[in-house]
Amino acid sequence: MGDDKNALPGVGGEEVLEQWQQDSIKEAFRPIVHLLERLSFDAVDLLKNNTVTVEEYARSLLGRIKERDSIVKASVYLDEGLTIKQAQALDQNPHGQPGPLHRIAVGVKDVINTKDMPTQFGSPLYQGHQSGFDSSAVAILRAAGALIFGKTTTTEFTVTNSGPDTANPHDPSQTPGGSSCGSAAAVADFQVPISLGAQTGGSLIRPASQKTFSPTFDTFGFIASSMQDLQLPADVFGLQDDEPPASKIALEKATVTLIKTPPWHRAGPGTVVAMEKAVTILEEQGIKIEEVSSPPASFALDGFASMRALADDLAAKYFVIITPSAEQELTYSALPQVLHMPVINVPAFVGSHGMPIGISLVAGRFHDQHLIGTGKVLGEFCMAGGSGADV
């Protein structure tokens, strides 16, 4: 889509591969390009050092999308001409103040307004709808130096069960899950290093469980390939804890609580095994695990407000809370959301069908930075030992 004559078909253009072959990066440069496609914190250094230009970086990602879009279908709008023009403009001001994101590509969910791209809410009713302004989140990203890299797919108005044709990169016959499906699929398929999504009750954590890392900050959240990448937007959005997080995590003093959440009795065998394996891995690192029961799922929604104080008390007692990320039931990923608690998904386990299975790490309110730091450590443990969960 997009009006540019070079727009990629289906996502906005037709000539990326030829341009890539003709005037882009030399063969010897390709290892760096592949690095750029995967890790934004490495790309930041390469862009800052002028090892690559923003245009070369953008063309690398466009080439990846051209190669994979017919399979993954993560983008609903991507105008190649606009993207290259913005990248060239950033290159023309190399000595300015690019901001902490330093021209890193960020995909944006198609329910979040962008001034120069349509926002269509995943609905034919809003085909071609142009708001003409950036949402506050997008404006902050641009001010921080991000290169907004098109719009990613979503279910209609984020609430319908049936969604777009977006496929899970791990298995194209499977759904990405959740309304932030395109944001998660784009990151998992190395089309962009970071995506902006939104969550009401699981739209970030569910797809992240099936693909990559994701925290949620109130209603907006980011999906990224690593905990280091998550740190970039967390700093840009000024997430500050009530008290400074520890510079070094003392695992010998850490106690983690396990909450299986109300619909645990309906959890699939892969989720059960993944949770059990996570507990074993952490205990082997000397971390104490305590299981805490949760109230029944049928409690009234009015009780959530009073539960937040109880949840804060619970979180204060423990280093972090572990829960399942997804099971077909919204309740798994919705509970931290309605309690206003930050949550990060760690897709550390792989089922017998080769699909990722995630666990959620949850912290108390206003402890986002603590959770990211904790996620770096515990996530590495689980990722290193979590390839054998059987579905």
Task: Give the Cβ contact number of residue 388 at 10 Å.
Answer: 12
> How far from each other are the two terminal CA atoms of the chain, in whole angstroms?
39
pTM assigned to the model: 0.80
**What is the length of the chain?**
391
pLDDT at 236: 92
Please answer whether residues 60 and 84 qualify as being in contact, where contact means their C-beta atoms are separated by less than 8 angstroms: no
Domain(s) labelled CATH 3.90.1300.10 in the chain stretch across 16-236
Catalytic residue among 179, 180, 183, 214: 179
pLDDT at 266: 75
Please answer whether residues 93 and 224 qualify as being in contact, where contact means their C-beta atoms are separated by less than 8 angstroms: no
Instruction: For the chain, give the secondary structure using H, E and C.
Output: CCCCCCECCCCCCECHHHHHHHHCCCHHHHHHHHHHHHCHHHHHHHHHCCCCCHHHHHHHHHHHHHHHHHHHCCEEECCHHHHHHHHHHHHCCCCCCCCCCCCCEEEEECCCCCCCCCCCCCCHHHCCCCCCCCCHHHHHHHHCCCEEEEEECCCHHHCCCCCCCCCECCECCCCCCCCCHHHHHHHHCCCCCEEEEECCCCCCHHHHHCCCEEEEECCEEEEECCHHHHHHHHHHCCCCCCCCCCCCCCHHHCEEEECCCHHHHHCCHHHHHHHHHHHHHHHHCCCEEEECCCCCCCCCCCHHHHHHHHHHHHHHHCCEEEEECCCCCCHHHHHHHHCCCCEEEEEEEECCCCCEEEEEEECCCCCHHHHHHHHHHHHHHHHHHCCCCCC
Catalytic residue among 60, 75, 195, 203: 203
Is 109 annotated in the active site? yes
Is 179 annotated in the active site? yes
- Per residue in 71-120, pLDDT tens? 999 999 999 999 999 999 888 875 556 678 888 999 999 999 999 999 99
pLDDT at 327: 57
Catalytic residue among 109, 151, 211, 260: 109
**Distance in angstroms (rounded) separating the CA atoms of residues 113 and 105:** 17
Token digits for 35? 């690095």
Position 269: which residue type? P
Indicate the Cα dihedral angle 373, 378, 384, 387, nearest 10°. -120
- Per residue in 256-295, pLDDT tens? 999 876 667 777 888 888 889 999 999 999 999 999 876 5
The domain over range 16-236 is classified in CATH as 3.90.1300.10: yes
Averages of pLDDT over runs of 10 residues in the chain (391 residues) are: 39 39 37 53 79 91 93 97 94 72 92 97 95 96 94 87 81 82 91 83 46 48 86 89 81 85 75 90 93 62 68 85 65 64 85 80 90 90 67 42
**Distance in angstroms (rounded) separating the CA atoms of residues 228 and 231:** 5
CATH fold, domain 251-385, is: D-Maltodextrin-Binding Protein; domain 2 (3.40.190)
pLDDT at 27: 39
**Distance in angstroms (rounded) separating the CA atoms of residues 230 and 225:** 8
pLDDT at 334: 64
Domain(s) labelled CATH 3.40.190 in the chain stretch across 251-385
CA 2 to chain CA centroid, Å, is: 25
